[in-house]
Amino acid sequence: MSSTLLFTTPQLPQPPINSSTLSSTTTTSSFPPSPDKLALLLDKSNSIHHLLQIHATLLRRGLHDHPILNFKLQRSYSSLGRLDYSLALFNRTLNPNIFFYTSIINAHALHGLSQEALFIYTRMLFEGVQPNEFTFSSILKSCSFEHGKMLHSQAIKFGFDSDLYVKTGLVDVYARGGDIGSARLVFERMLEKSLVSFTTMLTCYAKHGELEEARLLFDGMVKKDVVCWNVMIDGYAQHGMPNEALVLFRRMLAAKARPNEITILAVLSACAQLGALESGRWLHTYIDNNNIQVNVRVATALIDMYSKCGSLEDARLVFDRIPDKDVVAWNSMIIGYALHGFSQEALELFHGMCRTRLRPTDITFIGVLGACGHAGLVNEGWSLFYAMKDEYGIEPKIEHYGCMVNLLGRAGRLEEAYELAKNMKIEPDPILWGALLGACRLHGNIDLGEKIVEFLVGHNVANSGTYILLSNMYAAKGNWEGVARIRTLMKDSGVQKEPGCSSIEVNSKVHEFLAGDLKHPKSKEIYTMLEEMNGWLKAHGYTPQTDIVLHDIGDVQKEQSLEVHSEKLALAYGLICTQPGTPIKIVKNLRVCSDCHAATKLISKITGRKIVMRDRNRFHHFVNGSCSCGDYW
């Protein structure tokens, strides 16, 4: 253990604890309390003022060096947040034993002061005081990965490496350091495992995306508390498995486990990812009926859920009911408006937030710049981009440059967007280049598109989207040789296209469809409805946009491939499984294609249905033959 730590810990302030300043706070009594009664008072004390009174009494009666009272006083100061007082008392204690050292180490660890805790541990060793198992379990709570490995060797040296609490602490250290193999090894060698040790290992797996391992461990646990359920549900929600999160939440309710705020936040996130509005509304009702506090965090999660599930009205109702809105709540509502393409509303809300004297954050500007991008508001976008640094001192990040490149590119100002990408202070990432490539495809600029792809491939940062966008550009121009060359390049590079997937929620169950899907139990009825939909479209003079099909095949085959896109399958299922006149909400993982967009507009007019579709970029509200995006997406 390095002795240099002795010189790195800052001096904490000394508390005003002399008899002259504290004796006046002592209550008058003819019969001063005995040490036993003082010890009882210290155990029950719940305020600093009360502690100071007891401390003054100890000083007046000469009991300030009493080992038990001194120990209890130090621990009480720490528990009430006055670690400076506790440390000052410790430093005045003559020859502190292992209990004093462990207590002060634990206090620092609980406050996240790992360096200071390690300094005291080092001091303890220099003083010749040998640690015990509680010392190790305390110091391991907040130490770094590197220091944790050193302490592991110390635990072995002193013979405490087999202790349940020490081993649990070591599992946590390796888990926090991302060393899953070592965490698993320590865990598996534990002869006895507590609920805490199971939860620690479960958290390790879930945090690092090892969800199969996590689920095996979870299912094998005889006893589960709410923390275990939360870890598993949140693991699914955080790693793109929202359906599994909802299924496990229902199982949690069936097991009579009571959800808390952490559960609610994880499940709301899952609902938001799926666009599962019915499930989200049910959860909101559950919150109200079970007296779960709707604080700012829960309210913000509700805003995010309603926005991403297509109900801005509900999101705004929640937003307006928050009494003390923080900037995160404002950001969530601004981003909600931007996501739906209601750019003016997003900008008005931004200016309203600024009038409340709240300072916008970098997330705020991602929201408002995104709103400008959805409406082609180039001048407003540049103004906000410059205001970030000039007025608010926020240095633009890669996300802000990406918003500007997308805004300029979609507005047709490709060269301006390209110059911004080349000259920005930060190295552009594939997402930013992808936005520019998408704009090249939109405006048919193959030359610039090829230049960007060549750059990305040369720097080994190309992804599936890079190749697909260039392939789309070639296909749109009928350059099938170019399409074949890109496909060969993708195959040689091991790059696979992400399949299009659309989902729809009916009766609180989410149904997912891939293009040409035949796996759904109601496939026969779905394809019958598809034929009926095609009849409606032809009767209204609709011509399929076969030019977007990326295969060198005949027009009939192209039309057939367009008819079975995943969003059309989801729409057909919605039409046969929901009541006439009710809205239909669909979520797609990729950008909706122009043929499906045009067909959905017409079907909304034919059926008199409002159809809401969330694609990778934004929401589309189809009503009576028109879309909220104004065909600018």
Q: Write down the residue that tokens 């390690």 correspond to.
A: 118
- In sign, the C-alpha dihedral spanning 155, 156, 158, 162 is positive
pLDDT value for 555:
60
pLDDT digits (tens, 9 = 90+) for 362-374: 999 999 999 999 9
Q: What are phi and psi of 503, to 5 degrees?
A: -130, 155
Grouping H, G, I as helix, E, B as strand and the rest as coil, residue 398 is helix
Q: Is 73 exposed, middle or buried (0-12, 13-18, 19+ CB in 10 A)?
A: buried
pLDDT digits (tens, 9 = 90+) for 229-272: 999 999 999 999 999 999 999 999 999 999 999 999 999 999 99
pLDDT value for 81:
80
- In this structure, the strands spanning 501-506 and 509-514 are antiparallel
pTM: 0.81
pLDDT value for 557:
67
Q: Which two tokens stand for residue 202?
A: 């479960």
CB-based contact 252:259 (threshold 8 Å): yes
Q: Write down the residue that tokens 């750019």 correspond to.
A: 343
Residue type, 348: E
Query: Starting from the edge strand earliest in sequence, which strands make up the sheet with 501-506, in order?
Result: 509-514, 501-506, 584-588, 611-614, 619-623, 626-627
pLDDT value for 308:
96
CATH code of the region 224-324: 1.25.40
Percent of the chain at pLDDT > 90 equals 60
Q: Which two tokens stand for residue 347?
A: 């900008």
Q: What are phi and psi of 625, to 5 degrees?
A: 90, 0
Kindly provide the residue ranges of all beta strands, DSSP E only, lying in 273-421, ordered along the sequence.
none
Buried b (16+ CB within 10 A) or exposed e, 51-61: bbbbbbbbbeb
CB-based contact 152:167 (threshold 8 Å): no
Q: Write down the residue that tokens 């220099």 correspond to.
A: 126
Element (H, E) at 611: strand 611-614
Kindly provide the residue ranges of all beta strands, DSSP E only, lying in 419-527, ordered along the sequence.
501-506, 509-514
Q: What are phi and psi of 514, to 5 degrees?
A: -105, 165
Give domain limits for the chain.
1-161, 224-324, 398-493, 502-627
Q: Which two tokens stand for residue 427?
A: 């190295």
Residue 497 vs residues 149, 430, 467, 477: alpha-carbon distances, Å: 42, 15, 9, 21
Q: Which two tokens stand for residue 51?
A: 């502690």
Q: Which CATH class is domain 1-161?
A: mainly alpha
Enumerate residue ranges in the chain where pLDDT < 50. 1-30
CB-based contact 60:19 (threshold 8 Å): yes
Q: Which two tokens stand for residue 174?
A: 């390796």
User: In CATH terms, are 1-161 and 224-324 the same topology?
Assistant: yes
Residues 6 or more apart in contact with residue 65 via CB below 8 angstroms: 93, 94
Q: What are phi and psi of 618, to 5 degrees?
A: -170, 180
